[in-house]
Structure 1
Protein backbone atom coordinates (compact mmCIF):
# COMPACT_ATOMS: atom_id res chain seq x y z
CA UNK A 1 0.00 0.00 0.00
CA UNK A 2 1.49 3.34 -1.05
CA UNK A 3 1.20 6.52 0.89
CA UNK A 4 1.18 10.08 -0.39
CA UNK A 5 3.37 12.57 1.40
CA UNK A 6 2.30 16.21 1.51
CA UNK A 7 3.47 18.03 -1.60
CA UNK A 8 3.79 14.88 -3.71
CA UNK A 9 1.52 12.70 -5.78
CA UNK A 10 1.45 8.94 -5.35
CA UNK A 11 3.69 8.68 -8.46
CA UNK A 12 6.39 10.75 -6.73
CA UNK A 13 5.94 13.73 -9.07
CA UNK A 14 5.58 17.07 -7.28
CA UNK A 15 2.15 18.48 -6.65
CA UNK A 16 1.19 21.76 -8.24
CA UNK A 17 1.60 25.04 -6.39
CA UNK A 18 -1.52 26.78 -5.11
CA UNK A 19 -1.49 30.58 -5.30
CA UNK A 20 -4.19 32.44 -3.39
CA UNK A 21 -4.66 35.99 -4.68
CA UNK A 22 -6.53 38.67 -2.76
CA UNK A 23 -6.73 42.44 -2.65
CA UNK A 24 -9.23 45.29 -2.61
CA UNK A 25 -11.91 45.73 -5.26
CA UNK A 26 -10.54 47.89 -8.06
CA UNK A 27 -6.87 47.03 -7.42
CA UNK A 28 -6.61 45.29 -10.80
CA UNK A 29 -6.88 41.62 -9.84
CA UNK A 30 -8.79 40.79 -13.04
CA UNK A 31 -5.96 42.22 -15.17
CA UNK A 32 -3.39 40.34 -13.09
CA UNK A 33 -5.34 37.09 -13.47
CA UNK A 34 -5.72 37.57 -17.24
CA UNK A 35 -2.00 38.24 -17.64
CA UNK A 36 -1.01 35.27 -15.49
CA UNK A 37 -3.33 32.94 -17.40
CA UNK A 38 -1.75 34.08 -20.66
CA UNK A 39 1.79 33.65 -19.30
CA UNK A 40 1.08 30.19 -17.83
CA UNK A 41 -1.16 28.18 -20.18
CA UNK A 42 -1.06 25.17 -17.81
CA UNK A 43 -2.41 27.27 -14.91
CA UNK A 44 -5.82 26.33 -13.58
CA UNK A 45 -7.74 29.46 -12.66
CA UNK A 46 -10.33 28.46 -10.13
CA UNK A 47 -13.67 29.93 -11.20
CA UNK A 48 -15.44 31.13 -8.07
CA UNK A 49 -19.09 30.58 -7.40
CA UNK A 50 -20.91 33.80 -6.55
CA UNK A 51 -24.42 34.99 -5.82
CA UNK A 52 -23.79 38.45 -7.27
CA UNK A 53 -25.24 39.28 -10.69
CA UNK A 54 -22.96 39.16 -13.71
CA UNK A 55 -21.39 42.44 -14.82
CA UNK A 56 -21.48 43.41 -18.50
CA UNK A 57 -19.14 41.15 -20.48
CA UNK A 58 -18.81 38.48 -17.78
CA UNK A 59 -19.51 34.91 -18.86
CA UNK A 60 -20.90 32.20 -16.59
CA UNK A 61 -18.32 29.43 -16.14
CA UNK A 62 -15.45 31.56 -17.43
CA UNK A 63 -15.40 34.58 -15.11
CA UNK A 64 -17.58 33.22 -12.30
CA UNK A 65 -20.09 30.49 -11.70
CA UNK A 66 -23.23 32.54 -11.10
CA UNK A 67 -25.69 30.86 -8.75
CA UNK A 68 -28.66 32.00 -6.69
CA UNK A 69 -28.65 31.75 -2.90
CA UNK A 70 -30.48 28.41 -2.92
CA UNK A 71 -27.91 26.96 -5.31
CA UNK A 72 -25.10 28.30 -3.14
CA UNK A 73 -26.69 26.74 -0.05
CA UNK A 74 -26.71 23.39 -1.89
CA UNK A 75 -22.97 23.68 -2.69
CA UNK A 76 -22.26 24.30 1.02
CA UNK A 77 -24.48 21.42 2.14
CA UNK A 78 -22.73 18.99 -0.21
CA UNK A 79 -19.27 20.11 0.99
CA UNK A 80 -18.31 21.18 -2.53
CA UNK A 81 -16.61 24.46 -1.55
CA UNK A 82 -13.01 24.79 -0.40
CA UNK A 83 -14.01 28.07 1.24
CA UNK A 84 -16.91 30.45 1.13
CA UNK A 85 -17.83 33.74 2.71
CA UNK A 86 -20.50 36.38 2.87
CA UNK A 87 -19.15 39.60 1.40
CA UNK A 88 -20.14 43.26 1.25
CA UNK A 89 -22.11 43.16 4.48
CA UNK A 90 -23.78 39.83 3.78
CA UNK A 91 -25.36 41.04 0.53
CA UNK A 92 -23.51 38.44 -1.53
CA UNK A 93 -21.73 35.11 -1.15
CA UNK A 94 -18.65 33.86 -2.90
CA UNK A 95 -16.83 30.54 -2.73
CA UNK A 96 -14.20 28.28 -4.30
CA UNK A 97 -15.28 24.92 -5.75
CA UNK A 98 -13.06 22.26 -4.15
CA UNK A 99 -12.83 19.45 -6.70
CA UNK A 100 -11.19 21.27 -9.68
CA UNK A 101 -8.48 22.70 -7.38
CA UNK A 102 -7.61 19.36 -5.79
CA UNK A 103 -7.62 17.54 -9.14
CA UNK A 104 -5.26 20.07 -10.79
CA UNK A 105 -2.83 20.13 -7.85
CA UNK A 106 -2.66 16.33 -7.82
CA UNK A 107 -1.85 16.42 -11.56
CA UNK A 108 1.09 18.75 -10.86
CA UNK A 109 -0.53 21.87 -12.34
CA UNK A 110 -0.25 25.33 -10.76
CA UNK A 111 -3.58 26.66 -9.49
CA UNK A 112 -4.69 30.25 -8.93
CA UNK A 113 -7.55 31.04 -6.58
CA UNK A 114 -8.78 34.64 -6.40
CA UNK A 115 -10.67 35.36 -3.17
CA UNK A 116 -11.39 38.07 -0.65
CA UNK A 117 -9.60 38.43 2.69
CA UNK A 118 -11.87 35.96 4.49
CA UNK A 119 -11.42 33.46 1.67
CA UNK A 120 -7.63 33.74 1.75
CA UNK A 121 -7.65 33.05 5.48
CA UNK A 122 -9.96 30.06 5.02
CA UNK A 123 -7.92 28.50 2.21
CA UNK A 124 -4.70 28.93 4.21
CA UNK A 125 -6.31 27.11 7.16
CA UNK A 126 -7.47 24.22 4.98
CA UNK A 127 -4.37 24.10 2.73
CA UNK A 128 -1.42 25.59 4.66
CA UNK A 129 0.93 24.87 1.75
CA UNK A 130 -0.86 27.56 -0.30
CA UNK A 131 1.13 30.71 -1.09
CA UNK A 132 -1.02 33.74 -0.28
CA UNK A 133 -0.45 36.93 -2.28
CA UNK A 134 -1.93 40.34 -1.47
CA UNK A 135 -2.29 42.73 -4.40
CA UNK A 136 -2.05 46.28 -3.06
CA UNK A 137 -2.82 49.56 -4.84
CA UNK A 138 -0.09 52.18 -5.26
CA UNK A 139 -2.19 54.37 -2.91
CA UNK A 140 -5.73 54.61 -1.57
CA UNK A 141 -6.27 57.67 -3.77
CA UNK A 142 -5.37 55.63 -6.84
CA UNK A 143 -7.72 52.86 -5.71
CA UNK A 144 -10.57 55.36 -5.33
CA UNK A 145 -9.84 56.68 -8.84
CA UNK A 146 -9.87 53.17 -10.32
CA UNK A 147 -13.19 52.34 -8.67
CA UNK A 148 -14.71 55.57 -9.98
CA UNK A 149 -13.33 55.04 -13.49
CA UNK A 150 -14.65 51.47 -13.56
CA UNK A 151 -18.16 52.91 -13.56
CA UNK A 152 -19.86 49.73 -12.32
CA UNK A 153 -20.81 50.86 -8.80
CA UNK A 154 -23.13 53.43 -7.29
CA UNK A 155 -21.52 56.05 -5.00
CA UNK A 156 -22.78 54.03 -2.01
CA UNK A 157 -21.23 50.83 -3.35
CA UNK A 158 -17.93 52.62 -3.99
CA UNK A 159 -17.92 53.96 -0.43
CA UNK A 160 -18.56 50.46 0.92
CA UNK A 161 -15.76 49.00 -1.25
CA UNK A 162 -13.33 51.67 -0.06
CA UNK A 163 -14.23 51.00 3.59
CA UNK A 164 -13.64 47.27 2.98
CA UNK A 165 -10.35 48.11 1.24
CA UNK A 166 -9.05 49.88 4.35
CA UNK A 167 -9.75 46.75 6.43
CA UNK A 168 -8.06 44.57 3.81
CA UNK A 169 -4.99 46.81 3.64
CA UNK A 170 -4.67 46.55 7.43
CA UNK A 171 -4.46 42.74 7.07
CA UNK A 172 -1.91 42.61 4.23
CA UNK A 173 0.93 41.51 6.54
CA UNK A 174 -0.92 38.19 7.08
CA UNK A 175 -0.02 37.24 3.49
CA UNK A 176 3.09 35.36 2.37
CA UNK A 177 3.74 37.93 -0.37
CA UNK A 178 2.64 41.53 -1.03
CA UNK A 179 2.79 42.95 -4.56
CA UNK A 180 1.97 46.58 -5.40
CA UNK A 181 0.07 46.80 -8.67
CA UNK A 182 1.84 49.83 -10.11
CA UNK A 183 3.46 47.83 -12.94
CA UNK A 184 1.18 45.06 -14.22
CA UNK A 185 3.88 43.17 -16.13
CA UNK A 186 6.18 43.15 -13.09
CA UNK A 187 3.36 41.76 -10.94
CA UNK A 188 2.67 39.04 -13.50
CA UNK A 189 6.37 38.08 -13.69
CA UNK A 190 6.52 37.82 -9.89
CA UNK A 191 3.46 35.58 -9.79
CA UNK A 192 4.78 33.35 -12.58
CA UNK A 193 7.92 32.82 -10.48
CA UNK A 194 5.82 31.97 -7.41
CA UNK A 195 3.54 29.60 -9.33
CA UNK A 196 6.32 27.48 -10.83
CA UNK A 197 8.89 27.62 -8.00
Structure 2
Protein backbone atom coordinates (compact mmCIF):
# COMPACT_ATOMS: atom_id res chain seq x y z
CA UNK A 1 0.00 0.00 0.00
CA UNK A 2 2.94 2.33 0.38
CA UNK A 3 1.84 3.52 3.82
CA UNK A 4 4.32 3.70 6.65
CA UNK A 5 2.30 5.95 8.97
CA UNK A 6 -0.58 5.01 11.20
CA UNK A 7 -4.13 6.18 11.76
CA UNK A 8 -5.17 6.74 15.39
CA UNK A 9 -8.91 6.96 15.94
CA UNK A 10 -10.17 8.65 19.11
CA UNK A 11 -13.71 7.68 20.10
CA UNK A 12 -15.96 7.97 23.10
CA UNK A 13 -19.35 9.20 24.23
CA UNK A 14 -20.13 12.89 24.23
CA UNK A 15 -18.90 14.59 27.38
CA UNK A 16 -16.01 12.24 28.25
CA UNK A 17 -13.46 14.89 27.34
CA UNK A 18 -12.17 13.78 23.93
CA UNK A 19 -11.60 17.35 22.74
CA UNK A 20 -9.79 18.26 25.97
CA UNK A 21 -7.52 15.21 25.72
CA UNK A 22 -6.83 15.92 22.04
CA UNK A 23 -6.09 19.58 22.81
CA UNK A 24 -3.63 18.52 25.51
CA UNK A 25 -1.92 16.00 23.24
CA UNK A 26 -1.78 18.50 20.37
CA UNK A 27 -0.11 21.07 22.64
CA UNK A 28 2.38 18.51 23.96
CA UNK A 29 3.27 17.39 20.43
CA UNK A 30 3.24 20.80 18.72
CA UNK A 31 6.95 20.53 17.86
CA UNK A 32 6.76 16.89 16.76
CA UNK A 33 6.23 16.70 12.98
CA UNK A 34 5.67 12.93 13.17
CA UNK A 35 2.21 13.27 14.75
CA UNK A 36 -0.53 15.29 13.05
CA UNK A 37 -4.06 16.26 14.09
CA UNK A 38 -5.92 17.15 10.88
CA UNK A 39 -8.90 19.48 11.07
CA UNK A 40 -12.23 17.83 10.37
CA UNK A 41 -14.71 19.24 7.87
CA UNK A 42 -18.07 19.61 9.64
CA UNK A 43 -21.49 20.75 8.40
CA UNK A 44 -21.69 23.27 11.22
CA UNK A 45 -21.70 27.06 11.11
CA UNK A 46 -18.28 28.63 11.67
CA UNK A 47 -17.06 29.74 15.08
CA UNK A 48 -19.27 27.63 17.32
CA UNK A 49 -16.43 26.66 19.64
CA UNK A 50 -15.16 23.27 20.64
CA UNK A 51 -12.74 21.91 18.09
CA UNK A 52 -11.00 23.86 15.33
CA UNK A 53 -13.01 22.59 12.35
CA UNK A 54 -13.51 23.53 8.73
CA UNK A 55 -17.16 24.56 8.30
CA UNK A 56 -19.06 23.40 5.23
CA UNK A 57 -22.63 23.61 4.03
CA UNK A 58 -24.54 20.38 3.41
CA UNK A 59 -24.25 20.95 -0.35
CA UNK A 60 -20.52 21.67 -0.22
CA UNK A 61 -19.91 18.63 1.97
CA UNK A 62 -21.87 16.38 -0.41
CA UNK A 63 -19.86 17.73 -3.36
CA UNK A 64 -16.59 17.13 -1.47
CA UNK A 65 -17.63 13.56 -0.66
CA UNK A 66 -18.65 12.92 -4.29
CA UNK A 67 -15.23 14.15 -5.48
CA UNK A 68 -13.45 11.82 -3.05
CA UNK A 69 -12.05 14.65 -0.92
CA UNK A 70 -12.43 12.61 2.28
CA UNK A 71 -10.44 9.65 3.55
CA UNK A 72 -13.35 8.95 5.91
CA UNK A 73 -16.71 10.63 6.41
CA UNK A 74 -19.85 9.89 8.41
CA UNK A 75 -23.08 11.41 9.73
CA UNK A 76 -23.66 11.86 13.47
CA UNK A 77 -26.17 13.83 15.52
CA UNK A 78 -27.59 15.68 12.51
CA UNK A 79 -24.19 16.75 11.15
CA UNK A 80 -21.69 15.34 8.67
CA UNK A 81 -17.99 14.96 9.45
CA UNK A 82 -15.09 14.35 7.10
CA UNK A 83 -11.37 13.64 7.42
CA UNK A 84 -9.47 15.17 4.48
CA UNK A 85 -7.96 12.81 1.92
CA UNK A 86 -4.67 14.68 2.46
CA UNK A 87 -3.94 12.35 5.39
CA UNK A 88 -2.66 9.91 2.77
CA UNK A 89 0.36 12.22 2.34
CA UNK A 90 0.97 12.05 6.09
CA UNK A 91 0.87 8.24 6.02
CA UNK A 92 3.32 8.18 3.13
CA UNK A 93 5.64 10.40 5.19
CA UNK A 94 5.45 7.96 8.12
CA UNK A 95 3.34 10.16 10.40
CA UNK A 96 0.74 9.16 12.95
CA UNK A 97 -2.58 10.80 12.08
CA UNK A 98 -4.82 11.35 15.11
CA UNK A 99 -8.52 11.98 14.49
CA UNK A 100 -11.71 12.14 16.55
CA UNK A 101 -14.31 9.94 14.84
CA UNK A 102 -17.69 8.36 15.42
CA UNK A 103 -17.51 4.74 16.52
CA UNK A 104 -19.73 3.98 13.54
CA UNK A 105 -16.79 4.75 11.25
CA UNK A 106 -14.35 2.32 12.92
CA UNK A 107 -15.10 -0.70 10.71
CA UNK A 108 -14.62 1.28 7.50
CA UNK A 109 -11.39 2.74 8.87
CA UNK A 110 -10.16 -0.76 9.78
CA UNK A 111 -10.80 -1.93 6.21
CA UNK A 112 -9.05 1.07 4.66
CA UNK A 113 -6.21 1.51 7.16
CA UNK A 114 -4.91 -1.79 8.56
CA UNK A 115 -2.70 -1.43 11.60
CA UNK A 116 -4.61 1.50 13.05
CA UNK A 117 -5.02 2.19 16.76
CA UNK A 118 -8.39 2.93 18.36
CA UNK A 119 -8.25 4.88 21.62
CA UNK A 120 -11.54 4.80 23.47
CA UNK A 121 -11.96 7.55 26.05
CA UNK A 122 -14.43 6.84 28.85
CA UNK A 123 -15.69 8.40 32.06
CA UNK A 124 -17.81 7.03 34.89
CA UNK A 125 -21.55 7.81 34.74
CA UNK A 126 -21.36 10.30 37.65
CA UNK A 127 -18.48 12.23 36.08
CA UNK A 128 -20.14 12.16 32.67
CA UNK A 129 -23.45 13.46 34.07
CA UNK A 130 -21.66 16.31 35.87
CA UNK A 131 -19.75 17.31 32.73
CA UNK A 132 -22.84 17.24 30.55
CA UNK A 133 -24.76 19.35 33.07
CA UNK A 134 -21.89 21.84 33.40
CA UNK A 135 -21.52 22.43 29.70
CA UNK A 136 -25.22 23.30 29.48
CA UNK A 137 -25.78 22.28 25.85
CA UNK A 138 -28.37 19.56 26.49
CA UNK A 139 -31.72 19.41 28.22
CA UNK A 140 -32.14 16.99 31.15
CA UNK A 141 -33.86 14.52 28.77
CA UNK A 142 -31.00 14.80 26.27
CA UNK A 143 -28.49 14.22 29.07
CA UNK A 144 -30.32 11.04 30.05
CA UNK A 145 -30.27 9.92 26.41
CA UNK A 146 -26.52 10.58 26.18
CA UNK A 147 -25.92 8.70 29.44
CA UNK A 148 -27.86 5.75 28.06
CA UNK A 149 -25.78 5.73 24.88
CA UNK A 150 -22.59 6.04 26.94
CA UNK A 151 -23.59 3.03 29.05
CA UNK A 152 -24.01 1.00 25.87
CA UNK A 153 -20.66 2.20 24.46
CA UNK A 154 -18.29 -0.73 23.92
CA UNK A 155 -15.20 -1.26 21.82
CA UNK A 156 -13.60 -4.54 20.90
CA UNK A 157 -10.48 -5.58 19.06
CA UNK A 158 -6.76 -6.09 19.41
CA UNK A 159 -6.28 -2.56 18.09
CA UNK A 160 -8.24 -0.96 20.97
CA UNK A 161 -6.89 0.82 24.05
CA UNK A 162 -9.22 2.31 26.67
CA UNK A 163 -8.42 5.45 28.69
CA UNK A 164 -10.60 6.50 31.62
CA UNK A 165 -10.82 10.29 31.94
CA UNK A 166 -12.31 10.54 35.45
CA UNK A 167 -9.19 12.02 37.04
CA UNK A 168 -6.93 14.92 36.25
CA UNK A 169 -6.84 15.84 32.57
CA UNK A 170 -3.03 16.03 32.60
CA UNK A 171 -2.89 12.37 33.68
CA UNK A 172 -5.18 11.27 30.85
CA UNK A 173 -3.15 13.31 28.35
CA UNK A 174 0.06 11.66 29.58
CA UNK A 175 -1.52 8.21 29.23
CA UNK A 176 -2.70 9.16 25.72
CA UNK A 177 0.81 10.28 24.73
CA UNK A 178 2.26 7.05 26.14
CA UNK A 179 -0.14 5.04 23.96
CA UNK A 180 0.96 6.92 20.86
CA UNK A 181 4.56 6.12 21.70
CA UNK A 182 4.11 2.54 22.94
CA UNK A 183 1.70 1.24 20.34
CA UNK A 184 3.85 2.38 17.42
TM-score by length of 1: 0.79
Question: Gaps spanning 5+ residues in structure 1: where?
Answer: 8-14
Contact kept in structure 2, 1:18 and 1:195, CA below 8 Å: no
Matched residue, 2:90: 104
Equivalent residues of 1:135, 1:180 under 8 A apart = yes
Match of residue 128, structure 2, among 143, 156, 168: 143
Cα 1:16–1:45 change in 2 (3 A) is: same
CA drift of 1:181 comes to 0.8
2 CA distance for matches of 1:57 and 1:141? 25
Q: Deviations over 1:98-117 (max 9, x none)?
A: 21x11112122221111111
- Per-residue CA deviation, residues 44-67 of structure 1 (Å, 9 max, x unaligned), is 112111113456445xxx711111
| Matches of 1:155 and 1:67, distance apart in 2 | 30
Q: Corresponding residue for 1:172?
A: 155
| Residues 16/74 of structure 1: CA separation in 2 closer, same or farther (3 Å cut) | same
Structure 2, gaps ≥5 residues long: none
TM-score scaled by length of structure 2: 0.84
Task: Provide the rounded CA distance (Å) in 1 between the counterparts of 2:111 and 2:177.
Answer: 23
| CA distance in 2 between partners of 1:188 and 1:155 (Å) | 29
8 Å contact from structure 2 (residues 2, 92) kept in 1: no
Query: 19, 43, 48: which one pairs with 2:40?
Result: 48
Sort the Cα spacing of 1:55 and 1:153 in 2 relative to 1 into closer, same or farther, 3 A: farther
